Structures are given as structure tokens and as C-alpha cells.
């Protein structure tokens, strides 16, 4: 005790470890139910089914097809619309214009961002323009667009570009700015400069932000398009989905109005959950830039 | 090139950079020469401008005074003849697999064709013992593995000089030791020239063949000395040299607050 005041004396312990084969569970596959629950598409489908059921029950209780048709009759109108071809054609008209506006908006955004990252004046220009125009609802420009471009696809494309451009440019630019200095130095170390440097280092490195911008731009464009068609109706002979909704409301074909809205929702869901989701899993998720 | 001519010649280099409020002089009239197959260490406490000096050799900044010559040609911009290995783990391109990461500079610099680059990349990935992970993405690797990929990427280019900026500083002590041994083994294989920045005296002695000591604020050359032969770890000579270097670096007692990592 005298040599070791206050300390408890302990021996050295050396143990041999148990062989892994003798453990009860080291790795065990998940049960089928657990695995099914891990599929996000399935979980979302369940939510959709639940919503449809609630819709159906509520509409039946209300029993007023003029105010709120049942899910089944909406579905019928939807299928009817597809079979007779009217709805499909209208949707295609809308999507066509949307794609023109969306891609033109992205192209302009790319141009603006390249100017912004290559010069300080460009940065100021982008920042000023986005803070001026981003809060401005695209629909507010439609009256002006109609005077400039007339009643037709031209004015709708114009407001679409407006709704896409600023969101995409803003996100892409902030994505470029947040690329880590190390990655920039790595890129320059390889002797990359100018456009190859932007294309092979900056764009992939900023891809999570760019993708977010594309998603927001898509949602803005889709909304703007339907609203523009609703307000100003027909463009160049055959109207789009918004016009379909407006027309059927006037004729009190409420299930058809719902079918039109339903189409808007379905297209939105498809683009978000199929197209953007696929891009996401193949890029940013695979690269571990987003969990 | 004859063996007596320096590969890298740094002459009277003064480096300055601007912060938001100050113009900071990082190094003042630094001279050193690196020869073929040197393991040349820049050693000093934080704030001695050693990383800045490495960046200048890398071509990322221009000296305000003096010049840096590589094989007789003045360094003016970054280039694949001076591959960098950084301290940060995020230096690998996250959108490329290990193999693609190693291949990318080979192809981007136009030095090799695709098939050539692939063979070469796999060769160097094998050298750093990562063959099993050639098709993995960087985010699935541990910190030490990422640094090994970065080293393989640097070496696969077979640059005139490999620049390493505290590549092991962010690793845990056990991994760091292993990496140091591996680096020396790689050097035995290919005898590459490396310029290595560190603030750890034992690491400098272990890895280096020649050590440049820099004093802080601004960095000036304090001494240039030979390191000990390999395998001197734990010997009394090593302890002595360590002590001597420590004394030289911290002679100006005011600066000793900067703890030295071991």
C-alpha cells in the first residue's frame, strides 16, 4: 500500500476474441416488409392512394357533382378525355410550348452565368437583374407580352423564359461560387482553362445547385404556362391544358375541369418523380454529393 | 539534364497576398534548390508561408520578387508537370470513380490516350493498394484511402516534381504512420522527386532526405540540412536532430505559443 497510494492495483488483461461464426447475428437480411417500406416510390404511391380514397369518400358525402365530383367520375372524364384524344392533344400543345420556353430560358441562364463568372461586371449584372426580376410574377408581364408579341405562342414563350431564367441563373451562379477552392486548384493543376474548365470541373461540382435550379425553373414554368393559358386562353388556334380547364368551366363540365387539373398534377408528378429523380440518383446521389 | 543541375530552383522568392485588410508578406527572399529524386521538406510552424511557397511553385501565385525555375524554365501558371496533393479530402472529383480520378489528368492534359491512361491508372492504383476500390466513388472511401488515391493520381502523371501540401495532416496518427511508410516504399519503387510541406518535425525527419527550415512571419530560410538515413526512427540521433530543429525553429521564444504537432 505504501508504494501505491490512492491507486487500485490491476493486472494486465489480454483476451482472445470470439470467432465471428459463433455470434448470433453479424449481418441479417431485412424482412420483405422492411425492404418494401424502403422503396420510396411505394411509400409515395400509398400516400396517393390514401388521398384518392379521402377524395372519393368526401365527394360521395357531399353528393354535389357540380361543386366537387367524385374521384371515380374525374377518372372517367380523364380516361374519356384521353380516349377521345382531346386531352392528350391539349396536354401536348402545352408541353410543346413549355419545352420551348424552358430550354430557351436555360440557354439564356447559361449565357448569363458564364458572363457572371468570367467578369466582375457580369456578376453585378446578374445579381442586379435577378433581384429586380425574380420577384416579378411572370403573369404580370403577360399583358405587356401580348402587346409586343401578339396573341399567340410568342407571348407565352416570353413569359416562360422570364419565369425560368432567373431561378436557374441564380442557382447555377451560387452553385459555381460554392465550388471548393481545392477542387478549383485541382482543375487548374490539370492545366484546364476556359470552357473545358467550366464544363469538366465547375458544372459537375456545382451540379446539386444546378439541378435544384432546374427543378424550381420547371415548376415555375409549368405554373406560369397553365395560368397564362387560363387567363388568355387560346393561342394559335388550339389551346392547351389551361384553355381546356377554362372552357369546361364555362360549360359547367366540372368533372372535365377536374380531369384537366388532374392532368396538370400527373404531368408534374411524373416529371418530378421520374425524370428529375432519375437524374438525381444517377448523378448527385451516386457521387455522394447529396444523401 | 546532368545530376548536378537543380530540377527546381527557387531564387530570392518574396511572396505577398492580400487579405481584406492587410497586405501580408508570406515569405521573404527564400532560396532553395531541389535536385532529381530529392525528398525535399519545407518545415516550419504555422504562418511561416510554407504552404504559400508550395502554391507559388505550383504556379497559383506569382512571386513579387525573385523567380522560380523548373528545369530552367520560369514557372508562370499551374500545370500538370507539377502535380499537387492537397491536405483536404475533397480534392478528388466526387463525380468520378477512383480509376477515373486517376485517369482524368492523364487524358485532360493530352499526355496519354484513353487505353494507355487506363493501364497506367490501374498500375498506380495497385501501387497504393487500392485495386479493389478502383470502381468506387470517393465518398465511399476513408480519409486515408482518399489521400492514397490523390497520391496515385499525382504519381501517375509522372510529374517533374510532386508537390505535397501536408497530405497526412488531417489523418489520425495510426493511419498517418502507415501512409508515411507507404510513401517511402513508393519512393523506393520510382524515385520520384517530391516537395513536401509539413509542420511535424518527426515527419520531416522520417520522410525527408533534405529539410528546409523556415522561420515564421514572414517565412525566411533558417537552415537547410540533410535528414538522417532511413530507419533512424527512435534512435538517439533522431532525438538529437529533432531537438536541434526544435531549438532552431523556436529560438525566438515569443513565437513558441504555436504548438507543434507530433
* Chain segment A73-112, per-residue pLDDT in tens: 888 888 888 888 678 888 888 888 899 999 999 999 999 9
Q: Residue A63 region, left (φ>0) first, then alpha (ψ -120 to 50), else beta?
A: left
Q: Does A207 touch chain B (CB under 8 A)?
A: yes
Q: Which of residues B2 and B68 earns the better pLDDT score?
A: B68
For residue A283, the chain B residues in CB contact (below 8 A) are: 95
Q: Which residues pair with B221 in a beta bridge?
A: B214
pLDDT tens figures, A185-234? 999 888 888 888 888 899 999 999 999 999 999 999 988 888 888 876 65
pLDDT in tens, B154-170: 888 888 889 999 888 88
Residues of A in contact with B139 (CB under 8 A): 287-289
Chain B residue with CA closest to A179: the answer is: B90
> Could you tell me which residues are beta bridge partners of residue B23?
B18
List of chain A residues whose C-beta atoms are within 8 Å of the C-beta of residue B78: 185, 188-189, 191
Does the beta carbon of B251 lie under 8 angstroms from any beta carbon of chain A?
A: no
Dist. CA A197–CA A63, nearest whole Å: 63
pLDDT at A238 over 80: no
- Count CB-CB contacts under 10 A for residue B11: 15
CATH of domain B1-79+195-262: 3.40.50.300
* B250 in contact with A, Cβ within 8 Å: no
Domain edges within chain B: 1-79+195-262
CA dist., res. B114 & res. A247, Å (int): 59
Cα B158 to its chain centre, rounded Å, is: 14
pLDDT at A213: 92
For residues B32 and B210, give the distance between their C-alpha atoms in angstroms, rounded to a whole number: 11
Residue A260 CB-density burial (10 A; 0-12 exposed, 13-18 middle, 19+ buried): buried
Output the pLDDT for position B254.
Answer: 47
The answer to whether B90 faces chain A, any CB pair under 8 Å, is: yes
Interface of A with B in 108-167 (CB under 8 A): none
CA distance A249 to A286: 46
Tell which residue, A198, A199, A195, A206, has the closest CA to residue A173: A206
Nearest to B86 among A182, A192, A205 (CB): A182
**Are B93 and B67 in contact, with CB atoms under 8 Å apart?**
no
Task: State yes or no: pLDDT of B220 exceeds 50.
Answer: yes
Q: Which residue of B has its CA nearest to A284?
A: B95
Provide the pLDDT confidence category of residue B258 given band limits of 50, 70 and 90: very low
Residue A109: the pLDDT is: 93
Backbone angles phi, psi at B136, to 5 degrees: -90, 155
Q: Is A279 on the interface with B (CB under 8 A)?
A: no
Say if B93 is an interface residue toward chain A (CB within 8 Å). Answer: yes
In chain B, positions 48-87, which contact chain A (CB-CB < 8 Å)?
Answer: 58, 60, 77-80, 82-84, 86
Inter-chain CB proximity B95 and A207 less than 8 Å: yes
Confidence class for position A237, pLDDT limits 50, 70, 90 = low
ipTM: 0.83
Walk me through the domains of chain A, giving residue ranges and CATH numbers.
Answer: 97-244 (1.10.3720.10)
pLDDT score of A140: 86
Query: By CA distance, what is A288's nearest residue in B?
Result: B139
Amino acid at each position: 500500500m505504501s508504494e501505491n497510494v490512492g491507486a487500485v492495483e490491476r493486472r494486465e488483461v489480454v483476451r482472445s476474441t470470439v470467432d465471428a461464426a459463433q455470434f448470433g447475428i453479424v449481418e441479417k437480411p431485412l424482412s420483405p416488409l422492411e425492404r418494401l417500406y424502403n422503396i420510396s416510390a411505394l411509400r409515395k404511391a400509398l400516400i396517393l392512394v390514401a388521398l384518392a380514397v379521402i377524395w372519393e369518400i368526401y365527394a360521395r358525402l357531399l353528393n354535389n357533382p357540380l361543386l366537387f365530383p367524385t374521384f371515380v367520375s374525374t377518372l372517367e372524364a380523364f380516361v374519356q378525355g384521353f380516349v377521345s384524344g382531346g386531352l392528350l392533344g391539349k396536354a401536348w400543345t402545352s408541353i410543346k410550348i413549355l419545352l420551348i420556353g424552358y430550354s430557351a430560358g436555360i440557354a439564356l441562364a447559361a449565357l448569363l452565368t458564364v458572363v457572371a463568372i468570367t467578369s466582375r461586371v457580369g456578376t453585378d449584372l446578374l445579381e442586379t437583374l435577378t433581384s429586380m426580376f425574380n420577384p416579378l410574377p411572370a403573369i404580370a408581364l403577360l399583358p405587356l407580352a401580348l402587346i409586343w408579341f401578339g396573341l399567340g405562342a410568342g407571348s407565352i414563350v416570353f413569359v416562360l423564359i422570364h419565369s425560368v431564367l432567373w431561378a436557374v441563373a441564380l442557382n447555377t451562379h451560387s452553385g459555381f461560387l460554392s465550388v471548393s477552392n481545392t477542387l478549383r486548384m485541382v482543375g487548374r493543376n490539370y492545366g484546364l482553362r476556359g470552357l473545358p474548365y467550366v464544363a469538366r470541373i465547375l458544372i459537375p461540382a456545382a451540379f446539386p445547385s444546378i439541378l435544384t435550379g432546374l427543378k424550381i425553373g420547371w415548376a415555375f414554368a409549368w405554373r406560369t404556362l397553365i395560368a397564362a393559358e387560363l387567363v388568355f386562353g387560346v393561342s394559335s388556334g388550339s389551346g392547351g391544358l389551361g384553355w381546356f380547364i377554362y372552357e369546361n368551366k364555362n360549360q359547367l363540365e366540372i368533372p372535365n375541369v377536374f380531369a384537366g387539373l388532374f392532368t396538370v398534377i400527373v404531368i408534374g408528378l411524373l416529371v418530378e418523380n421520374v425524370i428529375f429523380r432519375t437524374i438525381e440518383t444517377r448523378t448527385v446521389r451516386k457521387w455522394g454529393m447529396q444523401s | 539534364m546532368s545530376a548536378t543541375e537543380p530540377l527546381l530552383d527557387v531564387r530570392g522568392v518574396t511572396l505577398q497576398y492580400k487579405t481584406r485588410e492587410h497586405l501580408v508578406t508570406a515569405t521573404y527572399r527564400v532560396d532553395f534548390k531541389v535536385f532529381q529524386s530529392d525528398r525535399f521538406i519545407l518545415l516550419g510552424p504555422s504562418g511561416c508561408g510554407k504552404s504559400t511557397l508550395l502554391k507559388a511553385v505550383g504556379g497559383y501565385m506569382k512571386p513579387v520578387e525573385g523567380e522560380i525555375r523548373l528545369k530552367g524554365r520560369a514557372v508562370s501558371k499551374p500545370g500538370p508537370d507539377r502535380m499537387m496533393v492537397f491536405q483536404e479530402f475533397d480534392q478528388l472529383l466526387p463525380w468520378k470513380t477512383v480509376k477515373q480520378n486517376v485517369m482524368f489528368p492523364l487524358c485532360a492534359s493530352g499526355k496519354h490516350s484513353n487505353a494507355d491512361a487506363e493501364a497506367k491508372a490501374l498500375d498506380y492504383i495497385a501501387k497504393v493498394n487500392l485495386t479493389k476500390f478502383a470502381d468506387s466513388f470517393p465518398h465511399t472511401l476513408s480519409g486515408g484511402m482518399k489521400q492514397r488515391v490523390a497520391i496515385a493520381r499525382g504519381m501517375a502523371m509522372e510529374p517533374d516534381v510532386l508537390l505535397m501540401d501536408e497530405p497526412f495532416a488531417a489523418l489520425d496518427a495510426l493511419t498517418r504512420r502507415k501512409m508515411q511508410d507507404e510513401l517511402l516504399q513508393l519512393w523506393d519503387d520510382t524515385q520520384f522527386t517530391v516537395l513536401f510541406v509539413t509542420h511535424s518535425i518527426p515527419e520531416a525527419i522520417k520522410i525527408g532526405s533534405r529539410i528546409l527550415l523556415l522561420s515564421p512571419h514572414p517565412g525566411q530560410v533558417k537552415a537547410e540540412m540533410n535528414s538522417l538515413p532511413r530507419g533512424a526512427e527512435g534512435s538517439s540521433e533522431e532525438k538529437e536532430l529533432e531537438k536541434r530543429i526544435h531549438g532552431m525553429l523556436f529560438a525566438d521564444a515569443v513565437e513558441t505559443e504555436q504548438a507543434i504537432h507530433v
